[in-house]
Amino acid sequence: MSSWRHFIESRRFGELAPIPKAICYALLALWSTIVLFPLYWVFVTSFKEPVDVAYPPKFLPFIDFQPSLHAWRYIFVDLGNDTFRPYANSLIVASVSTLLAVLIGSMAAYALSRIEYKPKLGSVISFILLLAAAIIAVVYWQVDWRLAVVVAVVIFLLLLRALGRHFKRHLGNGDILFWIISQRILPPVVAAIPIYVMFQHVGLLDTHAALIITYTTINLPIVVWLMFDFFAAIPRDLEESAQLDGASRYRIFLGIVLPLAKPGLIAASLLVLILAWNEYLLALFLSTARAQTIPLLVAAQNATRGPQWWYMSVLIIIMIAPVLALTIFLQKYIAKGLLLGAVKG
Amino acid sequence: MTVVLDRISKSFGAMTVLHELSLSVQAGEFMVLLGPSGCGKTTALRMIAGLETVTSGRIEIDGRDVTEVAPKNRDIAMVFQSYALYPHMTVAENIAYPLVIRRTGRSDIDRQVRDVAAQVQLDSYLDRYPRQLSGGQRQRVALARAIIRRPAVFLMDEPLSNLDAKLRGHMRAELKHMQHALGITTIYVTHDQVEAMTLAHRVAVLNKGRPQQIDTPRQIYEDPANLFVAGFIGSPPMNFVDGDLMDGLFQSVGGRLPTSVRSSHGKVVLGFRPEDCRIAAPDEAGSLRGSIYSIELIGDHVLVTCRVGGQSITIKVEKNFSADIGAEIGIAVAAERTYLFEAESGQRLR
């Protein structure tokens, strides 16, 4: 009578009984298959001849079809430089923009977590209004931009001097944080055309610089968002102790806070790197030949004759390989318990 | 190195947490700031350290006005309640940190770290990380890091509160010995009156941001200035009975007691310590009348709790005492061992 209960109810709190356990593992296996199968498919397709790619699908090399290296040879040997250049571009643009975004973003997050900012609402509004006025003057009335900027700054300072005392309401760190994060809520593609025109004006289209600047700007809010919580979790005692010992703010930031925020830094870097590496739309707008990145190359395999899956598969594999390797390598650094032993036990 | 606090106050917006604390700590003195949570003692300590700004008043260290001086230039070392050890550095690196900041030579640093580690018995733990140490060991690392700087003043914020009772007792003795050996002026914050009594040369009792009494432990114990100090110091705490004072005679629901204050006063509170009273016959003259509520054997003595007119009285008796719960008894206390306080203000009547 009670023997079947052993299969459904667990004996101890942290354990699963046999049948629930089997169901869990079955579901996990199913989901793993759904997630990993596309990777397997891409890998196998890169070794297929064009005729093998057509319907019906062929799953197993040496059994369903004979593998061949023609696609690999084409991508690496025949195209050679045409493959290497976008790959190098992706590497440069993604790593430099990630580095900049993480460096600047973590300093902003640290400042917001430690220092109390109280910008007056009146100052903020007057700044925005004067900026708008200056822009209108430059665009519609053809005022020289240097003159417009100087006049706007002078008016702003005079305004602050005269009315500053009356500006009572002020914003706080929470408002600044929200403002920074809200910039990422807007999809970057909405600003794609203005960004294009801007870079065209300064002659930076189709350069590394344009992509690096753009990616850094759109990913900065994400870094601030992630790192703020990590910095807020580091006990202030550590910094106060270092302060009493004579360390400067920068020394405290670089020598004590950053090492303790390592898990957060690595997580943020990885996320931003993946975003920059996979970014397609803005790269499409801002680059043509010289600064083309890998996602564009992959999409370009969609030739007039129809999608060339075999070439695409090779490109996809070399595209995801570095990110995959980096994630596996960095996983052990996202370790818990780094703060054990600093505070009370 | 002397420390002088001249009417320092601290307010956060409209809320004042410290009202005009004035204190003068002599060179080599162990001064304890004692009080319940929220009384402003940690705020006062942080103001001396420079980690909080001073709303009004002055702080002087060795005659120098440091009210506006940055923390690192005040020549003080602080041991935090949470120890504040850097988890990504070894014990040796933690202890060496103050010297590294000051760009001391490498060989000098190594020698000083070994010396100080030997002083606190940490020499075999120099390569460990904080997470591999016990509570007491971590506390000694924090102490070593403070000692190595040879500061003018030590500040300590409840450093023993995270240790278990046995270790606390041991570390109390260690701290007292160390402070005596080094002779460094120390300001120590705690809510534990046993620590205050055992460690301090003088104690400053604080309550709700106001100083109550600044005196030696013995004076505070035997001559409390007000109701709060009398009730805060002493374990078990002083007994209090409400009543009136008429011509030197204390009258209450529980009975009458002669006192040492020759006057009349309205509502008063009579105080006496558990070890200063004795159990008497229920109808003995000059005693309070009550019934036994509970009897606790402490080991070397027994604590008898009685109910007198709705209030609890604790009496310390010898260890072989036994009686029935609910038995009627009398509580006698000598007039010169009583304390009288005004019921309204809590001030001591003399």
pLDDT of the residue at A95? 94
Would you state the structure tokens that stand for residue B136, as one six-digit string?
A: 């007491």
The proportion of chain A whose per-residue pLDDT surpasses 70, expressed as a percent, equals: 94
pLDDT of the residue at A343? 38
What is the pLDDT confidence band of residue A339, given thresholds at 50, 70 and 90? very low
Q: Are B55 and B11 in contact (CB under 8 A)?
A: yes
Of B209, B231, B253, the position where a domain reaches its end is B231
Chain A residue with Cα closest to B147? A245
Q: Which residues of A touch B77 (CB under 8 A)?
A: 244-245
- The CA distance from A224 to the nearest CA of chain B, in Å, is 23
State pLDDT tens for residues B43-88.
999 999 999 999 999 999 998 999 999 998 998 999 998 889 999 9
Strand-strand pairing, B255-258 and B249-252? antiparallel
Chain A residue with Cα closest to B148? A245
pLDDT of the residue at A333? 63
Check if CATH label 3.40.50.1100 holds for domain A79-117+172-333: no
Residue A259 at interface with chain B, using a CB cutoff of 8 Å: yes
State pLDDT tens for residues B203-225.
999 999 999 999 999 999 999 99
- The CA distance from A247 to the nearest CA of chain B, in Å, is 6
DSSP B197-254: HHH-SEEEEEETTEEEEEE-HHHHHHS-SBHHHHHHSSSSPPEEEEEEEETTEEEETT
B243-259: b or e for each residue (b if 16 or more CB lie within 10 Å)?
Answer: bebeeebbebebbbbeb
Q: Do A241 and B78 touch (CB under 8 A)?
A: yes
What is the pLDDT confidence band of residue A240, given thresholds at 50, 70 and 90? very high
- The CA distance from A265 to the nearest CA of chain B, in Å, is 15
What is the pLDDT confidence band of residue A230, given thresholds at 50, 70 and 90? confident
* Same domain (yes/no): B132, B118: yes
pLDDT of the residue at A305? 62
State pLDDT tens for residues B92-144.
999 999 999 988 888 889 999 999 898 888 889 999 999 999 888 998 899 99
Q: Do A341 and B138 touch (CB under 8 A)?
A: yes
Full domain range(s) for residue B323: 236-349
Q: Do B101 and A260 touch (CB under 8 A)?
A: no
Judged against a pLDDT cut of 50, whether residue A142 lies above it is answered with yes
- The CA distance from A241 to the nearest CA of chain B, in Å, is 7
The number of domains in chain B is 2
CA distance linking residue B271 with residue B343, whole number of Å: 11
* Same domain (yes/no): B188, B296: no
Of B216, B231, B246, the position where a domain reaches its end is B231
CATH number at residue B93: 3.40.50.300
- Number of other CB atoms surrounding residue A82 within 10 Å: 12
Residue B138 at interface with chain A, using a CB cutoff of 8 Å: yes
Q: Which of B325, B221, B198 is nearest to B276 (CA)?
A: B221
Range with the poorest average pLDDT among A78-92, A107-121, B266-280, B317-331? A78-92
Average pLDDT in chain A:
85
CA distance linking residue A152 with residue A129, whole number of Å: 10
Of B208, B231, B254, the position where a domain reaches its end is B231
At a CB cut-off of 8 Å and minimum separation 6, what does B78 contact? A240, A241, A244, B45, B49, B146, B154, B155, B156, B157
* Same domain (yes/no): B253, B227: no
pLDDT of the residue at B120? 85
* Same domain (yes/no): B161, B101: yes
CA distance linking residue B156 with residue B159, whole number of Å: 6
pLDDT of the residue at A337? 39
